[in-house]
Amino acid sequence: MAATFPHVVRDVSADPFGERFPRHLSIHKQLLGGSFRFESASEALLDLVEAAYGGLPPHRLPMATADFRIELRLVPRTHAPAFREPPPVQMQSGAGFLCGVMDASNYVMVSQAQQRALVVASEDMLGFPYHLRYELIEFAVFILATRGLGLVPLHGACVGRHGRGLLLLGASGAGKSTVALHSLLNGLEFLSEDAVLVDPDTLLATGVANYLHMKADALRFIEDEAARRWIGNAPVIRRRSGVEKFEADLRHGHGRLAPSPLKLAGAVLVSSGPATDADGLLHPIPKDEIAARLHADQPYASGQPGWLSFQQKLVQRGVYELRRGPHPQRSVDALLRLLEQP
């Protein structure tokens, strides 16, 4: 859908800060335990919100919900050349704001105290919907949910069964997405592939199950032809690292999205190292090593409020290492056995 702008001539001298910028449209989403209202005069920007969050199960947490507002503003590109790829986001903070800045025309500002955020994007940024959605809009949503609800933000995936979940942690490239995909194809509930937010008091985990990102070489392990077509026909996105991946929409594919937050039964550190025994992929990590392993895997989350409580409770549940087997199905079988434990 084409961008929309107000049909008014703005008097810059009378409104130098754009405080009278109209917001004609709004949509509401229940996400990550919070209530989010997105407001904009641009249908194109709200279409990206719908692409990110439309059709997701509304997750609620037992604590009192919070009401968040995000204003999305589309502005003309001025005094800057067009780019082949948007500049990388630079993080900044100060005076109660958390900011992600690409350039003077593309940035996000989040106020935890006001439970509000402003996302500003230039017209030409609409040509980069993945970056606009993932690096600006989703930035605002995750920061507001994390800080406003006191959740622990984890880089990882989460799958589960019958309301119980397992965190899948590990370095980029270790195989978390592959294990999560095959868990989905084997009937496990899918919570998130890339970011998981956890209530440190209850160990309830929530996330956004919108897209799955897979490299082409992962298709060789998928035997179901319909699932191969679903992923193989998906759009291809390019990460900042230069890696290209299919971006398959989980809402239009196979499997079941977690209808509500999952209670964590434990965590699994996915390793790229091969297993010495094909039948012994999963090994418990000694309790006196768990804290150091989690801290090394989650350097950002381990510095956030709530981490100590989260870590202590997770140690009680158990943390395991999952080494790579000859086929991802073996990994899923190991996860299923873990979820079946009392």
Q: 67-75 and 116-122: which strand pairing?
A: parallel
**How wide is the angle at C-alpha 253 spanned by C-alphas 249 and 181, nearest 5°?**
80
| pLDDT tens for each residue of 90-124 | 999 999 999 999 999 999 999 999 999 999 999 99
Give the mean model confidence (pLDDT) for residues 132-146: 97
Q: What is the pLDDT of residue 254?
A: 79
Give the mean model confidence (pLDDT) for residues 313-339: 93
Q: What is the pLDDT of residue 105?
A: 92
DSSP letter at 285 equals: P
Res. 10: pLDDT tops 60: no
| pLDDT tens for each residue of 179-216 | 999 999 999 999 999 999 999 999 999 999 999 999 99
Q: What is the pLDDT of residue 84?
A: 83
Q: What is the pLDDT of residue 160?
A: 97
Q: What is the pLDDT of residue 170?
A: 92
pTM of the predicted model as reported, rounded to 2 decimal places: 0.91
The Cα 230–Cα 184 span in angstroms is 13
Identify the structural domains of the chain with CATH numbers, from first to last.
25-149 (no CATH), 153-340 (3.40.50)
| pLDDT tens for each residue of 34-90 | 999 999 999 999 999 999 999 999 999 997 779 999 999 999 876 666 778 899 999
The Cα 232–Cα 227 span in angstroms is 8
Q: What is the pLDDT of residue 6?
A: 45
Q: Which residues in the chain belong to E strands, given as ranges?
A: 25-31, 34-40, 67-75, 90-94, 97-103, 106-111, 116-122, 152-155, 157-161, 164-169, 189-192, 195-198, 204-207, 211-214, 236-238, 244-249, 256-257, 262-274, 282-284, 319-324
| pLDDT tens for each residue of 298-321 | 999 999 999 999 999 999 999 999
Res. 264: pLDDT tops 80: yes
DSSP per residue over 217-257, as a string?
Answer: GGGGG---HHHHHHHHTS-EEE-TTS-EEEEEEGGGSSSEE
Q: What is the pLDDT of residue 5?
A: 42
Q: Above pLDDT 90, what percent of the chain? A: 77
Q: What is the pLDDT of residue 277?
A: 73
